[in-house]
Structure 1
């Protein structure tokens, strides 16, 4: 077998990087990404809550649809209560399907991040022309509805193709969340110049923890709190990014939301040491630091 190196990434040990701080001298940037998704009924990809059943699978589809009808509204209200921002990872199919839910996040001023048109299809497997058209469609819809083009991208299923980063940079995207590689931003090489990889959580993420590993609501909250407290200690020496990813149909369930309040309580307890932010703001601050400009 031929051994292949990753063509987009230069290895960089975290101990050897220039020091920097976030705004107001903070050392830990924290963002919460909320995935707002819509799935095709009777076809396409998606988590199999009832595996082995053929389409149409109303139980599987309905599991995710709960987030658009109920869970997303509960989470918007929760983050209002705690006065914390959200990063909305948006399937643009939601513009037609559940515009009332998106209005909740627009009202709050949350950042809308392109997350494909639907999680029923992934870019990996599309040819380059088809993927380019799909990215253009998503960017156009977000700009049409939000008044500005999205700065960031997260592939449906976190499954980019070999062309995704080139296509994103060519179309003016500033960053991607597809690479869970680091606790600080990193620069990816593309055919059109560097594209920032903003740290994204694969572990502190309700899909792997709850849907794939059968973790309980309390265990997910414990994980998020333990990660926070450890990163607060680590950030005394190095400024870091801590992302938490949740989905409307998972943490939006009442019993999980009840446990997730413990996470938000702990975040607010340490608010004097945390920069509560979004991936777009992380990109802007880090890109402006001369010591951390494009590698």
Structure 2
């Protein structure tokens, strides 16, 4: 069955432009799930680009007293005005500011959406969606604090949770998501099979590659879009105490080095990097200024394709219909 699926994939890929490699670079067993995994052979992205860069904006619901803390020494206070203000500013001002920036720069954006967000913050969601109406919506669970994946309850419970997430997002946005990012970055081995079984075609839960790859999940393979933890702004900002300007240097250097490697060896497969961004970081005025410098620098790189998740899936010959 696996050989037949992969043969059909290669046939579809060979019929599309840009040019794809004719054989996968590696195959083996995934260290998390134990399932067979296979690189998806992409030689170049559209217009001969070699590095696809995806910025994924996290649109999340935390709840009172939940979520990231700007001042952990103040969390015992009631009310904790500093940390609540930190979180609320990101929602009210950070999300629209980030949407405006990407719209004004003409750069695609992908949205990782908690299913509870549109009802919890209807005006903010309407404003953000109007700014980036074509951004793919990646399902990101119910919320990011109290309703995470039921990892201890088995695969059936995970499937029910994923189905509920997809149903809620579709009801509020008109989009049936085909992409997944586990809330609070907390899946387990069963999550990959459960998402595939509920119609998810790609996930951001893969963090160990520079190239697209797929798992032999049933009823169809699950594509993993590279999402390295080292470039996610939230961990760098809150845990490693990096400012937005530090992140700008990190992102530019990361992508430029991938481009340099591609120029040095054109036979190397095309690479992908998903960069997670949060309104707590890039949604402040200083964060937006740093983000603008990043986009300006990357737009000038002739090997770089600034794109979104669904466009990468289409270019690789996968099915990634955004929805209605």
* TM-score normalised per structure 2: 0.78
Deviations 1:148-184 (A, max 9, x none): 3101000011110332111111111101101111111
Q: 2:153 aligns with which of 127, 131, 138?
A: 127
What number of residue pairs does the alignment pair up? 280
Residue by residue over 1:58-102, the C-alpha shift from the partner in whole angstroms, topping out at 9 and shown as x without a partner, is: 533332221110011111111111011111011121111222332
**CA–CA separation in structure 2 for the residues paired with 1:161 and 1:54:** 32
Per-residue CA deviations over 1:206-245 (Å, capped at 9, x if unaligned) read 1121111001221111111111211111223331112222
- Mapping for residues 110-259 of structure 1, pairs under 5 Å: 110-120=135-145, 121-123=147-149, 125-128=151-154, 129-236=156-263, 237=266, 238=268, 239-259=270-290
Conserved? CA contact 2:225–2:274, under 8 Å: no
Following superposition, the deviation at residue 276 of structure 1 comes to: 2.1
Q: Which residue of structure 2 aligns with residue 285 of structure 1? A: 315
Contact 2:151 2:187 in 1 (8 A): no
1:134 shift after superposition: 2.0
Say whether the 8 Å CA contact 1:177–1:199 is kept in structure 2. yes
Counterparts in 2 of 1:248 and 1:19: CA distance versus 1, 3 Å: closer
SS at match of 1:163: helix
For residue 293 of structure 1, what is the aligned residue in structure 2?
none
Q: Which runs of 5+ in 1 are unaligned?
A: 290-295
The residue aligned with 2:47 is 24
Q: CA deviation at 1:24?
A: 2.3
Find the aligned partners of 2:183 and 2:318 in 1 and give their Cα distance: 29
Q: Relative to 1, partners in 2 of residues 1:154 and 1:66: Cα closer, same or farther, differing over 3 Å?
A: same
Alignment match, 1:265? 296
Structure 1 CA distance, aligned partners of 2:318 and 2:179? 17
Offset, 1:269: 1.5
Tell me, yes or no, if the aligned pair for 2:210 and 2:271 is still in contact at 8 Å: yes
Superposition CA RMSD, Å: 2.5
Match of 1:51 in 2: 72
CA displacement, residues 193-216 of structure 1 (integer Å, 9 cap, x when unaligned): 421111113111111211110012
TM-score, normalised relative to structure 1: 0.86
Q: Distance in 1 between matches of 2:141 and 2:77?
A: 22
CA distance in 1, matches of 2:292, 2:84: 27
Corresponding position: 1:276 with 2:320? no
> Which structure 2 segments of 5+ residues have no match?
1-29, 320-324
- Alignment of 1:82 with 2:105, yes or no, is yes
Alpha-carbon separation, structure 1, partners of 2:189 and 2:251: 32
Alignment of 1:102-113 (within 5 A): 102-107=125-130, 108=132, 109-113=134-138
